[in-house]
Copies of this chain bind each other. A is one copy, B any other.
Amino acid sequence: MDRYLDEQVLALGEKLTQRLVALASFPTVSGKEYDAQQYICEQLKALQCDQIDVWDPDIESMRGHEAFVSSRNDFAGSPNVVGTWKGSGGGRSLIVNAHIDVVPPGDESEWTVPPFAGTVRNGRIFGRGVSDMKCAHAALLTCVEALHKAGRRLRGDLIFQSVIEEETGGAGTLSCALRGYQADGALIPEPVHMALCPAQQGVLYFRVHVTGKAGHGGERYLGVSAIEKAAFVLEALGELERRRGEEWNHPLYREVPIPFTINVGTIQGGAWPSMVPEHVAFEGRMGVAPGETLQQARCSMEDFLAGLEERDPWFREHPPQVEWLPNRLYSAQIPEDHPLVDTAKAAFAQVMQWQPQMAGTAFGTDASVLTNFAGTPTLVFGPGSVAHCADESIAVDTLLDYTRVMAQLIADWCGSD
């Protein structure tokens, strides 16, 4: 371990917290990223970044791409920011990709702190996005500052991508890829509890329509309840979920209770309390295994739903219809013994004094673009744990540990003089 570098990181602990508090105060939901990205630019300038690239992604040039997903009409006023510290030569380049956008705070009455205030309390920093994933911005900037203070000059390029639109489909990272950014490796600090994740599951979103037969509720036995039929389909989907977990028996998901979940998140159906409901639709997400194509995953559900007619003749004439929603993310993976993984493992073990947990992600990430479409082997590794919920937060100590590991990882991967 580079102890001197580590000391510099430790000395910047207070500043690390301040950076995250500052970032957490920007309410960067989709479309509101501008001010936070300005803050990032100022930080990059202060840290002698060699090249600062700021642009509003051009939606039209991305529309034809197979990884493009967005419901926005344009990204005007929502810039990507990429800062590059040029290496002195002879080292490996590294992308650190962190999204600046956050999901909405939801019901603010469930928060015990304001969601966009960056409150520090009992050793934790609270706010929407502190875990997912502005902690990454704070950590990377602090790593660079520590490298400077330690007098380390990297050999390979360090490319910091502060991107938009991760939470809504990944168009920010796709725009980076199409702009030509690639590297020998990439790190995405999504909230994975400090695990190293060489594999990321993909995700498909679906809506299933179930049909019944309307009728008066007082004689409901003359109708067919779409709610009852939907309950049957929901129960059956648990079986598909189990089957898919066994089929894609992935080593990094062996410890996970349900490796590739089929989560039904919404349901809506029926028109009147006193009518037998004629239609129910439910929406959900399905995990796509690393190594599985989106099309394979779609077919597995379509085939399964078609097969339900053998269990209930009603479905023969009224099969559940699956509609695939626009959002989806490819799965991605790099070998478990990829040099980037080895470097990260070593850096982790040196700093933390124990071996990191190896895992696959429970969600899709921008790694699906970097690994699959930007020729950049990507490792997901981040300190966050609590995300997308009220009182999102991160422990100050965990953030500092992570930053210490990240500094070693950068120095080791890129090489330093």
| Chain A residues packing against B (C-beta within 8 Å) | 106, 201, 203, 205-207, 214-221, 225, 227-228, 231, 234-235, 257-258, 261, 263-277, 280, 282-285, 287, 325, 361-363, 387-389
8 new A-B contacts at CB < 8 Å, known A264-B270, A265-B272, A266-B273: A203-B218, A203-B274, A216-B387, A218-B285, A227-B282, A266-B270, A266-B271, A274-B284
Q: Are A269 and B266 in contact (CB under 8 A)?
A: yes
Report chain B residues within 8 Å CB of A234.
227-228, 231
Interface residue from B235, B257, B265, B269 paired with A270 (Cβ < 8 Å): B265
Closest to A282 in B: B227
A214 to chain B, nearest CB (A): 6
Q: Are A273 and B267 in contact (CB under 8 A)?
A: no
State whether A275 and B388 are in contact (beta carbons under 8 Å apart), knowing that A267-B268, A267-B269, A269-B267 are contacts in the complex. yes
Interface residue from B261, B264, B273, B363 paired with A283 (Cβ < 8 Å): B273
A-B contact pairs, 21 of them (CB 8 A): A206-B273, A207-B273, A215-B389, A216-B362, A216-B363, A216-B388, A217-B263, A220-B261, A220-B263, A221-B257, A227-B234, A227-B264, A231-B231, A263-B275, A264-B273, A265-B270, A266-B270, A267-B269, A267-B280, A273-B283, A274-B363
Q: Are A218 and B261 in contact (CB under 8 A)?
A: yes
A206 to B273 alpha-carbon distance, docked (Å): 8
Interface residue from B225, B274, B285, B363 paired with A273 (Cβ < 8 Å): B285
State whether A267 and B266 are in contact (beta carbons under 8 Å apart), knowing that A201-B218, A216-B363, A217-B285 are contacts in the complex. no
A362 to B268 alpha-carbon distance, docked (Å): 26
Copies of this chain, whole number: 2
Q: Are A261 and B217 in contact (CB under 8 A)?
A: yes
A284 to B219 alpha-carbon distance, docked (Å): 13
State whether A263 and B389 are in contact (beta carbons under 8 Å apart), knowing that A205-B273, A274-B203, A282-B227 are contacts in the complex. no
Report chain B residues within 8 Å CB of A221.
257-258, 261
Q: Are A264 and B285 in contact (CB under 8 A)?
A: no
Report chain B residues within 8 Å CB of A217.
261, 263, 265, 284-285
Report chain B residues within 8 Å CB of A284.
217, 273-274
Closest to A364 in B: B218
Report chain B residues within 8 Å CB of A267.
227, 267-270, 277, 280
Interface residue from B106, B231, B266, B275 paired with A265 (Cβ < 8 Å): B275
Q: Are A266 and B272 in contact (CB under 8 A)?
A: yes
A227 to B264 alpha-carbon distance, docked (Å): 8
Closest to A389 in B: B214
Interface residue from B205, B287, B325 paired with A218 (Cβ < 8 Å): B287
State whether A277 and B266 are in contact (beta carbons under 8 Å apart), knowing that A216-B362, A231-B231 are contacts in the complex. yes
Report chain B residues within 8 Å CB of A325.
273
Report chain B residues within 8 Å CB of A387.
216
Report chain B residues within 8 Å CB of A280.
267
Closest to A272 in B: B265
Interface residue from B273, B282, B285 paired with A263 (Cβ < 8 Å): B273
Report chain B residues within 8 Å CB of A363.
216, 218, 274
Interface residue from B273, B282, B362 paired with A219 (Cβ < 8 Å): B362
Closest to A219 in B: B362
Q: Which 4 A-B pairs have the closest CB atoms?
A: A217-B263, A218-B362, A266-B270, A218-B363
A216 to chain B, nearest CB (A): 6
| Of A216, A258, A283, most B-chain CB atoms within 10 Å | A216
A273 to B281 alpha-carbon distance, docked (Å): 12
